Chain A
Amino acid sequence: MSTGLAIDAQQLTRRFHDKVAVADATFQVGQSEVFGFLGPNGAGKTTTTKMLTTLLPPTSGSATVLGFDLRTQGSKIRERIGVVQQQDSFDQGLNVETSMDLYGLLWNVPGNVRRDRVRQLIEDFSMEEFRRTSSLDLSIGQRRRLQVAREFVHDMDLLFLDEPTVGLDPLVRRHALNYFKQKVKEGLSIFFTTHILEEAEYLCNRIAVINHGRIVAVDTPANLKRKFGTAKEVEFRFLEGASPEFQRLLSTHDEVESVEMDKDSGAYRAKTSKPELVIPEVYRVAEKLGLHVSSVYISETTLEDAFISMVEGADREAKAG
């Protein structure tokens, strides 16, 4: 890998007749990096993945994957990547064990290595109970587990994961994410597409957000939250309980977007981009009304807040432009 990059995409573009599915996508994925690729439905995530996995030729632009040119060295790329597709992919009627073994055979993994890996993966992904069950009789989650585990039967340097945890229960999902993390520590690079933002935050070193075929941001999850996570919440309670007058007065403050009360917990939540200005105001108004603040805390911006902000911002720009 001469560039030291797992992926180096430069102005990658794909058109379907008049429609531009992906426009000028430029980003890099480092070795042993988990690179998240997020975007709303139809944003261009799967088209980008299909181009990078050589399934779909780009209309223009260029890319290297593992140092190989996307246009001229497709077979070299395919020999060293793995792909877990968003859609189901399984061999009709074969059981879990045979499916994995046959998949390893396709990748030319020697028989003894295949047997050991299949046994280990069945254990790692907790598939012992249904190892002899036909793929047609598996539940959605079990089939997904097979699809993810199967990809690790062969060696690879870069793994494309497209919504890999859909249908998995929380325990198996966390286990799978930790398995990916372990593989990254061992040198694997991952291109990770998901709609579950907590997963992206848990797993990814950097994230690209794509909307309407254009990449709107590429950064670490923490930086994305800092840059785009505008609204924060200041949550507080009073010893005296609810006070409609307090809610009315605080709502008039310039830096407060809204104040709502959670009737179950009795807590107030003030939405603001400047909590450092709102908290003194909470104390000032409380003192004025003779109330005593029992607790205050600032809830952190989530990646979901940042994501929504980025996507809505891009939508507004698209409409304006």
Chain B
Amino acid sequence: MRLVYRNMRANLDKASLFFELIFPLFFIFVEGYGYTGIIKSIDLGDGRLVSYQVYLAAGAVTLTVINGGTNAGTQLWYDRKNGMFEQILMGPFNRAQYILGIVFATLIIGIAGSLIVFALAFPVLGYSIAWSLRGALLVASALVMGTMFFGGFAIALSVVLRSSETFQIVSTFVFFVFLFTSSVFFPAGPAPEPIRTISLLNPLTYTTDIFRAGLFGLSPTLLGLELPVLAVEAVAIFAIAVFAFRRIRV
């Protein structure tokens, strides 16, 4: 817990956090609102129609898990650059505790960010939410597994990429690919090929679909598949991240 607190105090830039919150809100209140005039409604998959702004608002909340995940890579990257990685490992913590410190800090940031965006988007989403325990569990699962996946991905990237410029450019590019080939902005099903296939392989699509299912009380046919697939992807990418992390030479 001491390490988690330290990670959140020392490695998180307040200005970056602020803009990470602004980013999804911009999508909801500017893009979503703007497109409402063009896209009248979107079918959630069970015949229910919602406005594009509502559809996008739910996706934009899951967008914060990407930002939370990027923070995991940034934390590790700053510590390696500033010599704190070795310093901490020569102190009362071992590598497992160090990586867990990053994981928990990332989860807190990712989930807290999502909740803040959710609260701010509530005026848009409020009427469409189907409150239930099942829904809450699905929402929580989506946020936790999504943050785990993108956190693991960013940690692996930060191990491989040594310069800050490369890390920033590559992580921004890769996360944009994840973002624009997911179901955050449009449903994967009716999308043209190859976007549809790519979207169906994209873990952000699963995160977003599970989140929407929980939020709107949906029971899409693929949900039973999406949950375990996202869990496996999150665990697999996290195992790769831990493997890469263990190989960091000091």
Contact = CB atoms under 8 A, between A and B. Distances in A.
B2 A89 contact: no
Contact of B13 (A74, A79, A93): A93
B246 interface: no
B2 A105 contact: yes
Interface string A101-120: 01001111000000000000
Contact of B88 (A74, A81, A106, A108): A106
Contacts of A79: 92
Contact of A85 (B5, B10, B78, B83): B83
B236 interface: no
Chain A interface mostly? loop
Q: Which of A75, A90, A93 lies at the interface centre, i.e. has the most chain B CB atoms within 10 A of its CB?
A: A93
B83 A78 contact: no
Interface stretch (A52-60, A177-185, A281-289): A52-60
B9 interface: yes
Interface string A55-78: 110000000000000000011001
B3 interface: yes
Nearest to A16: B249
Contacts of B90: 53-55, 78, 81, 83, 85, 160
Given A105-B2, A105-B6, A106-B3, A88 B82 contact: yes
A286 to B, nearest CB: 59
Contacts of A107: 91-92
A236 B92 CA distance: 58
B82 A75 contact: no
Chain B interface mostly? helix
B83 A50 contact: no
A59 B237 CA distance: 31
A92 interface: yes
Interface in A77-100: 78-79, 81, 83, 85, 87-94, 98-99
Interface string B1-24: 011011001110100000000000
Contacts of B10: 91-94, 99, 102
A85 B80 CA distance: 13
A89 B250 contact: no
Nearest to A74: B94
Given A50-B250, A102-B10, A105-B5, A90 B83 contact: yes
Nearest to A86: B83
Interface in B80-121: 82-84, 86-94
Contacts of A91: 6, 9-11, 82, 84
Contact of A87 (B3, B9, B83, B94): B83
Interface residues of A, number: 28
A55 to B, nearest CB: 5
A102 B78 CA distance: 16
Q: Which of A55, A79, A106, A108 lies at the interface centre, i.e. has the most chain B CB atoms within 10 A of its CB?
A: A106
Contacts of B91: 78, 83, 106-107
Contact of B82 (A50, A74, A90, A102): A90
Contacts of B9: 91, 94, 98, 102
A81 B91 CA distance: 8
Q: Which of B13, B87, B93 lies at the interface centre, i.e. has the most chain A CB atoms within 10 A of its CB?
A: B87
Contacts of B82: 88-92
B86 A55 contact: yes
A88 B250 contact: no
Interface in B11-65: 11, 13
B2 A55 contact: no
Contacts of B92: 75, 78-79, 106-108
B83 A108 contact: no
Contacts of A102: 6, 9-10
A79 B92 CA distance: 5
Given A105-B6, A106-B2, A90 B84 contact: yes
B6 A106 contact: yes
Contacts of B11: 91-92
Interface string B187-212: 00000000000000000000000000
Q: Which of A54, A85, A88, A91 lies at the interface centre, i.e. has the most chain B CB atoms within 10 A of its CB?
A: A91
Q: Which of B10, B84, B86 lies at the interface centre, i.e. has the most chain A CB atoms within 10 A of its CB?
A: B10
A102 B91 CA distance: 13
Contact of A108 (B2, B84, B87, B94): B2
A56 B250 contact: yes
25 contacts: A55-B90, A55-B250, A75-B92, A78-B92, A81-B90, A85-B90, A87-B86, A88-B83, A89-B84, A89-B86, A91-B6, A91-B10, A91-B11, A92-B11, A93-B10, A94-B10, A102-B9, A102-B10, A105-B6, A106-B2, A106-B3, A106-B91, A106-B92, A107-B92, A108-B92
Given A89-B86, A105-B2, 5 more contacts: A91-B84, A105-B6, A106-B2, A106-B6, A108-B2
Interface pairs A-B: 5 shortest CB-CB: A89-B83, A91-B10, A89-B87, A83-B90, A53-B90
